[in-house]
A and B are shown apart, each in its own frame.
Chain A
Amino acid sequence: MQRESLGGAYRILTFRHPEVARAARPGQFVMIKAGRSAEPPLRRPFSVMSTDAEAGTFSLFIKVVGPGTAALDALPSGGEAECLGPLGRPFPVPAPDRQPLLVAGGYGVAPFLMLCRRLRGGARPPRLFYGGRTAADLPLAGRFDPELLVPATEDGSLGERGRVTAPLERHLDREPSGELFACGPEPMLHAVARIGARLGLPTWVSLDPWMGCGFGTCLGCVVRTQTAQEPAPKHRCACTEGPVFDASCVVWPGEERSLAAERAREPVRQ
């Protein structure tokens, strides 16, 4: 493990793992734990931020917030961790006729460095709406092409002041098309899902529920989903059937049904 501190609680941790380095796709994750001690008990899921297939390494962008991340951060340089991956379903390849609009909140930006790299050669250049509390909470801002980046902070210390969904909505007012990809706190994802549903845009969200195993056995990380075709709500594992979900099929906290099911209930307008 090699550590790079980005100030505050933010770190980039790089590990040697040829399989993850070779196979990881944007939006996939690894389950990782520092050592075998019983504390903390579980591995933690992290989106893969970047890979270097030649060096056989991958990097994670983490914010040290609790015992799992603290234990990883406390690994000595060159220390080892238990790691399983790559896991989960990646972000889908965007439709060629749609501009990819990426929306990141805080450390939810992690999968977008790799996604932007993948999209660089595409027909439509992506755009990244990257929000956080302060400039210090956007430590990866300098690693994105400035032409693609639209930052927003709650205190106005970087980009415009306010929520990241405000510049996204203004952009969509001018050009109501594209395909949305979002990763970040749940309220932000829910807001992006509503925006996407209102404009009828394909919208993909990467969800981050508590995860026990990462490979579909503990059933701890399930997400309540509901499609227009299958109106009975279903629990799907975020680890094996996600973490990327079609936002219109997610039954968001506080809602009775998914946006897709809601739309299917509306009377057909003449």
Chain B
Amino acid sequence: MTAAAIRTAPDLGVELAGLKLRNPLIAASGTFGYGVEVAEIVDLSTLGGLVSKGLFLEPRQGCPTPRLAETPSGLLNAIGLQGVGIHHFVEVVLPRLVDCGTLVLVNVCGDTVEEYAEVTRVLDGRPGVAGVEINISCPNVRQGGMVFGTDPRMTHAVVAAVRGATKLPVIPKLSPNVTDIAVFARASAEAGADALSCINTLLGMAIDVETRRPKLAFGTGGLSGPAIRPVAVRMAWQAARAVEIPVIGIGGIASGADALEFLIAGCRAVQVGTANFVEPGIYTRIAQELREYLRRHGLERIEQVIGTLESEA
């Protein structure tokens, strides 16, 4: 790149909950492993950040199979938070992520409020952790998960407990399976959240008509992919209007234009989920598409786009 090109290259950097991100593109929890699996095929320095697969105190085997079903422009999953447990993560995985080239957020889970806090305490102070995303929205576990994310008092209790367990940025990931996400956004902010991730998967179901059985062994699952993007944009927009803290938009992003919808709606960053499975190197392409957009609109920084939605209803 020439010196002139560097001077004119639009700046994709964003600031979020005290974190400086190289670009607003974060890999979503559950779609990027613990980062180390993907590092062999994707240059992690092309990401603004990554969020680990959800972690409980103990290892989990997750749901039986089948765990995936393809749906129109979407993916229905019931993985059930299979994971190595927080202790294995901090002792074996996290050391490999220090200096991995991007910010690492850790997605914490719990069957109880106390478990969320305990998982967070294990993480607190460990080198390599930039922040904590709180999973109160997984639809594929019998306890915890969405149970906490669909009752505002429980949401408040979990966020407050995690807040009390760390000084790291705390980012609850909200469920779309509620009537008014603004209520949950406000409950999270009041409990001390630094930012919000909006949204997790939509509760869905697919049935094999030949066998008359659900296509997923768990029965229901979480719907993701381009199919949910309009719902996600609407809910991220509602959350961003409801609170002062920044919102990270998530839902079916697979291009620069998709990411821009969320940024214009008021999100300070976005997460890419299902698209990681289909196009592992997608960050380079989306970043390029964002730069082209900024050039085309005569803008220097991506921050100039955030929250610029015209003629709000």
Contact = CB atoms under 8 A, between A and B. Distances in A.
Contacts of B72: 39
Nearest to B35: A217
Contact of A217 (B33, B64, B68): B33
B41 interface: yes
B278 interface: yes
Question: Counting chain A CB atoms within 10 Å of each CB, which of B31, B70, B74, B279 scores highest?
Answer: B70
A235 B83 CA distance: 10
Interface stretch (A122-130, A149-157, A218-226, A261-269): A218-226
B225 A38 contact: yes
A234 B84 CA distance: 11
A42 B70 contact: yes
A40 B278 CA distance: 10
A220 B79 contact: yes
Interface string A204-229: 00000111110111111111100000
A86 to B, nearest CB: 12
B17 interface: no
Chain B interface: which size bin?
A: 35 or more
Contact of B226 (A38, A222, A234, A235): A38
A105 to B, nearest CB: 20
A216 B67 CA distance: 14
Q: Say whether chain B's binding surface is mostly helix, strand, loop, or mixed.
A: loop
A240 B40 CA distance: 13
A218 B69 CA distance: 12
B73 A217 contact: no
Given A39-B72, A209-B65, A215 B82 contact: no
Contacts, number: 88
Chain A interface: which size bin?
A: 20 to 34
A11 interface: no
Interface in B6-37: 30-33, 37
B174 interface: no
A219 B278 contact: no
Given A41-B75, A222-B65, A215 B70 contact: no
A82 interface: yes
A46 to B, nearest CB: 16
Contacts of A213: 276-277, 280
A66 to B, nearest CB: 9
Contact of A210 (B30, B69, B254): B69
Contacts of B70: 40-42, 67
Contacts of B225: 38, 41
A212 B82 contact: no
Contacts of A221: 65, 68
Rank and list the top 10 A-B pairs by shortest CB-CB distance, nearest first: A220-B68, A213-B277, A217-B33, A38-B73, A38-B226, A216-B37, A212-B277, A210-B68, A220-B67, A219-B79
8 contacts: A41-B278, A82-B279, A210-B66, A213-B277, A213-B280, A217-B32, A218-B31, A222-B67
Interface of A: 33, 36, 38-43, 67, 82, 84, 209-213, 215-224, 233-235, 240
Given A84-B41, A220-B67, 8 more contacts: A36-B279, A39-B72, A212-B77, A219-B67, A219-B82, A222-B82, A224-B65, A235-B82
